[in-house]
Amino acid sequence: MVRSMTGYGRKDDMKGSLRLTVELRAVNHRFQEILVRLPKNMSMLEDQVRKLVAQYVRRGRVDVTISLEGSATISPEVAIDWSIAEQFLKLSREMDQRFSLETPLTAKDLLLFPGVIHTKETEEAERDELASWLLSEVDTAARDLLSMKMVEGERLYADLTQRLLSVNKWLEDIILLVPSSTQEYHNRLHQRLSEWAEQAPFELDQQRLAQEVVFFTEKSDISEEITRLKSHCHQFKQQLEKEEAVGRKLDFLLQEMNREANTIASKANHLQIQHLAVEIKTELEKMREQVQNVE
């Protein structure tokens, strides 16, 4: 089933004091283009976000905007480097013996020496948790976008299918008119040439005249154009049923269909056929406008 290239997806969520907002806006574009805007401290996730969104978008431009408000509470973990503390203690005792000092170190003294005590931030773990949360919300917003694209795609499918039925109906009407129109054109051309021959100041070769009538009648034959247009209509219907990006193929087929309709209108020497060809061209133009939205 066809999908629209346009759509919108959004997800808001809270985690502690943090508020995460993910917005996806999809518009028409010839190829797949995904632009990601992330907070500076989460910029390393850009490629992952782009690949994640790409799973739900086959063609079109998608602007992904992610905002993060508030601040994470990072709990510091206090730790003691025992090897450094032991070295300070050993040196202190050696100094006491060398200089006959009586200033034993207390635990408080040791804690003041550089490197003995340090804080280990749990930032890395929290960053991983934040990244996992962010990617999960992006996935939810992308699913929301896909849902909207599919709903719009159903409308496009229904509209294009109905218009294609109209084109096929008018084409069948043209097919019914072709035999009589060809004979009418043959008779009309033969009559005009015969009238001209009667007034000509010289004698004309009647056999050659009949051959020329057949030749010009064949030049106005539109059977090949009708066959090709019917084939294009059939291919168009097949493409509408596919589960892939078909927008560009549909656009190409419509160009070919319009070319055949133009030729039918120019070659056919029959007012009603020309009128039907114009109706087909008008409907094809409306279909092409719709196809610009197909993924």
The predicted pLDDT at position 106 comes to: 78
Angle made by CA atoms 151, 153, 156, in degrees to the nearest 5: 120
Cα–Cα distance measured from residue 33 to residue 27, given in angstroms and rounded to the nearest whole number? 10
For residues 67 and 24, the answer to whether their CB atoms sit within 8 Å is no
> Splitting the chain (295 residues) into consecutive groups of 10 residues, what average pLDDT does each group show?
94 91 96 94 93 95 94 60 83 79 75 74 71 96 97 96 97 86 60 60 54 56 91 96 93 96 86 92 97 95
Looking at residue 92, its pLDDT comes to: 81
Angle of the 223-240 helix axis to the 247-267 helix axis, nearest 10: 160
User: What's residue 85's pLDDT?
Assistant: 81
Read off the amino acid at residue 247. Answer: G
What distances in angstroms separate CA 127 from CA 47, 74, 119, one per listed residue?
16, 10, 17
pLDDT of residue 81: 81
Count the helices and strands in the chain (H runs, E runs). 8, 6
- Parse the chain into domains and list their residue ranges: 76-121, 152-291
Q: In whole angstroms, give the CA distance from residue 295 to residue 287.
A: 14
pLDDT at 116: 77
96 vs 110: CA distance, rounded Å: 15
Contact 293, 162 (CB under 8 A): no
Predicted local distance difference test score (pLDDT) of residue 74: 44
The whole-model pTM stands at 0.70
The predicted structure's pLDDT at residue 256: 97
